[in-house]
A and B are shown apart, each in its own frame.
Chain A
Amino acid sequence: MSKLFAIALGVLTAIGGFVDIGDLVTNGLVGSRFGLSLAWVVLVGIVGICVFAEMSGRVAAVSGRATFDLVRERLGPRMGLANLGASMAVTLLTFMAEIGGVALALELTTNVNRYLWIPVVGLAVWLVLWRVKFAILENAFGLAGLALVVFAVALWKLGPDWGSLWQQASRPSVPSQESHTTYFYYAIALFGAAMTPYEVFFFSSGGVEERWTEKDLGTMRANVFIGFPLGGALSLTIAAVAAVVFLPQGIQVGSLGQIGLPVPLALGQLGLAAVLLGFFAATFGAACETGLSVGYSIAQYFGWQWGKYVEPLRAARFHTVVLLSAIFAIGVLLTTVDPIMLTEYSVVFSAIALPLTYFPILVVANDRTYMGRHVNGRVANALGTVYLVLVVVAATAAIPLMIITRAGE
């Protein structure tokens, strides 16, 4: 019974934890401009993150090694360092976007200016990373993030023309007012939002934190194969709500407040409370995950002691990196850079950095010396190869598309 509870808890956490500022903003924006005509990308992205996370979780459970351990031993110190630099730049960008997102959610709730909230949020994130136990961190924000289910309720309450939504999603076409390049630029953004690299750094390192072994493979797979798709479905409902409310009016969504607006329109005050709680939990949880991921990855590259399973004193370098990245993120955000813009760039750069960590994981998941009978099977390898091609195509197309479309203008 307690085992079942643990699995259920893990799945619920995965659903709530799946959505972060990148998913919120990109899905809201895309829904308002393209309707559901890019829903197929979200599906492709969800399958992709399942393939990627399952492999890295399996490697972590069987060998005890997390992502950047593997990156360095397979690519060597030079390529590994270049890889670390690129991946950490993207993860820090995401970290800033998440902290900015929390501040925006708090601004919506309290009417207190976001720049007053940013240092408070940064400090609070750091305090959580410094002292709160890993399991509490993971479960509390994941469960509170489930409040975003209110988007699904709102969609139902809005009573949309389901046939037309289905039509948009199942027969995708570029809306007349948008160009093909913009369409594919946002396709890459959505792909990057679903397959953010930090999710895998965090997932595999978290597996080591929780001392997974081969016995935990079942639980891990339940989290990935049930939790992630349901989390992805949640982010699709955000796009659907935006498509129903904003697309017919020709309104382009540009702020977190607008993305949440349809919910109180449909459900009133209670809906507003739920959506604000969901925004806060999703972004705060993701801020913790990205902040930890920066520390995890740098420590793993150098072989330092990392992790929240040891007291901070025993992982001094790891905690110093986490502290410095929190200070850095607050500093950059206080230059009054727009967190929504940071988010839009962070999801595209996520897609660009993705092959760097995807490829080494795919290789090690096939290494018999490490994995024994848990090496990739036929299905994992077939999907793994397809997605290797997809992530490379998305990464190479991203920069030209970004220049041509002026970042989706």
Chain B
Amino acid sequence: MSRLPDPQARSTLDVALRLLDHQITGPHGELLGNVDDLELVERDEHLLVTGLMVGPAALGGRLPGKLGDWMVAIWRRLHPEQDPKPVVVPLRHVTTIGSAVEVDAGAASALLGASGLERWLRRYVVARIPGATGGGDEDTPPAVHAPSREDAERLLAPRSDGRAASDLIGARVLGPQNSDLGVVCELRCSSGITARASTAEITHLQHTSHGMGSRLGYERDARQGPAAVGVVARWWHRHDRLVPMSDVIDIDWKAHTVRIRGAHGDHPLADS
């Protein structure tokens, strides 16, 4: 399902553009959810991507106001556990990043097992209607070995020190003398993500004065058309700057602010 027509273009990976909100698929093309958020870990001055967060717990945090709160509240109420944990697919289970993010068979079956709503509807609604099995157009994918809930939960457990990328994307960026530089709109991993790596280091963050339209990709590919849209989108994002993580002084996760040294990053298109 995930095809990569242009592997050369993948020397760096912009996680908001290329990972966030993308479809997660299994090895047989099963659709397993979206990348609703990313799990980040701070380790010795480095910021690492460690996993893909999936499901209402992660998505709810990114929806506005009450709507997001309700989504999380409903998820908590309906979950069989007393204190449910968000679902996180560790990065080492990711096999391919293309138009979809493909995970290995272990993570795929764990994700199938972790989807409470799907399983509940399957059991109490769809399975009770005559003709629920068969009738698919294709050869059914090989029956996935359903893991026990404990195994699935162990595989998909979040890290205790994990942060959500959505708390950083959208955070205020403050320069010298607390000058306002806009908001974080992108996190870049410069080495890309190699198969089976358990972490990917974030090397740059991109800030913008306009959050809107920063995931269309125009300020990162000078060739992307159509020309008229490109001109407008690149003008709109002309003040975007890419700042190396070494210039980040600190990240205040509670107040959603990032303080950086100097205000002299490059425009994302400067090196291409």
Residues of A within 8 A of B (CB): 62-65, 69, 72-78, 80-81, 130-131, 133-135, 209, 211, 299-300, 302-306, 308-314, 316-317, 319-320, 323, 362-363, 366-376, 381-382, 384-385, 388
Contacts and interface: CB of A to CB of B under 8 A. Distances in A.
A68 B78 CA distance: 27
Nearest to B21: A73
Centre residue among B32, B33, B138, B226 by max chain A CB count within 10 A:
B226
B126 A308 contact: no
B99 A370 contact: yes
Interface string B8-51: 01100000001011111000001111101000000000000000
Contacts of A323: 125
Contacts, number: 155
Interface stretch (B58-66, B200-208, B258-266): B58-66
Say what secondary structure dominates the interface of chain B. Answer: loop
B125 A381 contact: no
A206 B73 CA distance: 35
A73 B20 contact: yes
A77 B100 contact: no
* Interface residue range, chain B: 35 or more
Given A73-B21, A304-B31, A313-B127, A372 B122 contact: no
B6 interface: yes
B122 A316 contact: yes
Interface string B225-236: 111110000000
Closest 10 CB pairs of A and B: A372-B5, A303-B34, A63-B99, A381-B226, A316-B122, A316-B121, A311-B136, A303-B33, A309-B137, A316-B126
22 contacts: A64-B2, A69-B99, A72-B34, A73-B22, A131-B135, A133-B135, A134-B137, A299-B31, A300-B23, A311-B133, A312-B129, A316-B118, A317-B121, A320-B125, A362-B229, A363-B216, A366-B224, A367-B221, A369-B5, A371-B5, A376-B226, A381-B226
Contacts of A371: 5
B132 interface: yes
Interface in B102-138: 117-119, 121-122, 125-127, 129, 131-138
A76 B2 CA distance: 20
Given A72-B21, A303-B34, A312-B132, 20 more contacts: A69-B22, A69-B99, A73-B22, A76-B21, A76-B62, A77-B59, A77-B63, A81-B63, A134-B137, A304-B33, A305-B31, A308-B137, A309-B138, A320-B126, A369-B18, A381-B226, A382-B226, A385-B227, A385-B228, A388-B226
A369 B9 contact: yes
A317 B117 contact: yes
B221 A302 contact: no
A77 B228 CA distance: 26
B145 interface: no
B135 A369 contact: no
A320 B121 contact: yes
Nearest to B25: A64
B223 interface: yes
B147 interface: no
A375 B100 CA distance: 18
Contacts of A302: 33-34, 59
A69 B24 CA distance: 11
A74 B9 contact: no
Contacts of A65: 23, 99-100
Contacts of B22: 69, 73
A371 B20 CA distance: 19
Contacts of B31: 299, 303-306
A314 B32 CA distance: 11
A300 B23 CA distance: 8
B215 interface: yes
A74 B62 CA distance: 15
Contacts of A372: 5-6
B249 interface: no
B5 A373 contact: yes
A134 B138 CA distance: 11
A148 to B, nearest CB: 28
Nearest to B64: A78
B86 interface: no
Nearest to B169: A76
B154 interface: no
Contacts of B227: 381, 385
A369 B137 CA distance: 30
B197 interface: no
A62 B223 CA distance: 19
A367 B119 CA distance: 36
Contacts of A133: 135, 137
A308 B136 contact: yes
A369 B10 contact: yes
A64 B126 contact: no
Contact of A310 (B117, B138, B226): B138
A130 B131 contact: yes
A374 B126 contact: no
B140 interface: yes
Given A305-B31, A368-B9, A312 B131 contact: yes
Nearest to A78: B64
Nearest to A320: B121
Contacts of B98: 63, 370
B224 A368 contact: yes
A211 B3 CA distance: 13
A156 B67 CA distance: 57
